[in-house]
Chains A and B, each alone.
Chain A
């Protein structure tokens, strides 16, 4: 179900930037080679895919679901992706396909989830303060529009660069750049950073 929705969404989102069908089948990216290996029966290759894409899946989930649920969902999503890997038509589009599965799973989580309370973890006082501040900022990011919050979490939390975000999620570099800059502008406004900078000046 998720992979079908993901494929449909991807066709809509990447229609302009999609390569010609003749080039699609060529396993040009390392991900495509890994996928071929997994489908040929090499299960270890999937671990490499997991290492490459787990931060992206983690970031997308973090922008949408409670933090305590993220770890379990990451595992679920990769397990699901492994089972349905044969339905992926273009091996080079694995990142976009996986991103869409993740977004759909996050939506399903909100659709079916019961009310949950985030459990506070025990940390040192300094860590606790930093984590609380991080949670606070994350909540502000989550209040931004979908496209901005996902890109900002991948950039600021997961530490991915703009080109990495584009290549992993299957979005165009231009749209990632726009989302980053507009999202950052909104975030600054919400956190009052611009006002602080202006008062300092």
Chain B
């Protein structure tokens, strides 16, 4: 056995390889003329598909960027609205800040000077000031310090407490009208905060 003969037909011939070559050469390629049809031409490389792919990728990126910017703006405007609400609640806070908030927010039937009434009773000049503040939201938002944020949170908590009180009162009234015995308020105090 000679490996060089198998590799490049040099060296001592390998009898087995020669025998196989002799038998298998009957299947060897027989040259045939190859004629190209006249109508057939080599197709030129098209740049259309890659160009379209690049354009589609750029368009997709622009679209994605637009959506992202839009979402960012929305979240900013939400934060602005929150700041506005907290600021307004501060400006419309009653003169005596030590009085319980429940008194101001709940029981509109007992309090003729409810929030709507308070808003309407504000001097016209004051209302104009609040409207003009709308144009200054970016500045307000930027200027909102940590203490203001804490105040806003406190205002939110007060509002939630007031709503819970109103809800409890409405429940009580409903039960009374339907002759259902009142629930134990002590046991359910956690609902009132």
Contacts and interface: CB of A to CB of B under 8 A. Distances in A.
Contacts of B21: 156, 159
A137 B42 contact: no
B42 A39 contact: yes
A110 interface: no
Contact of A86 (B16, B20, B42): B42
Nearest to B7: A162
A97 interface: no
A43 interface: yes
Contacts of B26: 127, 130-131, 134
B28 interface: yes
Interface residues of B, number: 27
Contacts of A71: 32
A162 B8 contact: yes
A86 B7 contact: no
B25 A54 contact: no
Contacts of A87: 43, 45
A111 B37 CA distance: 28
Nearest to A133: B23
Given A55-B29, A162-B8, A180-B6, A134 B36 contact: no
Nearest to B10: A161
Main secondary structure of the interface of A (DSSP, over half): helix
A59 interface: yes
B171 interface: no
Contacts of A161: 7-9
Nearest to A157: B24
Interface string A80-101: 0011111100000000000000
Interface in B41-57: 41-45
Given A158-B28, A159-B25, A84 B8 contact: no
Contacts of B42: 38-39, 82-86
A177 B4 CA distance: 10
A106 interface: no
B40 interface: yes
5 contacts: A54-B29, A74-B29, A133-B23, A156-B24, A157-B24
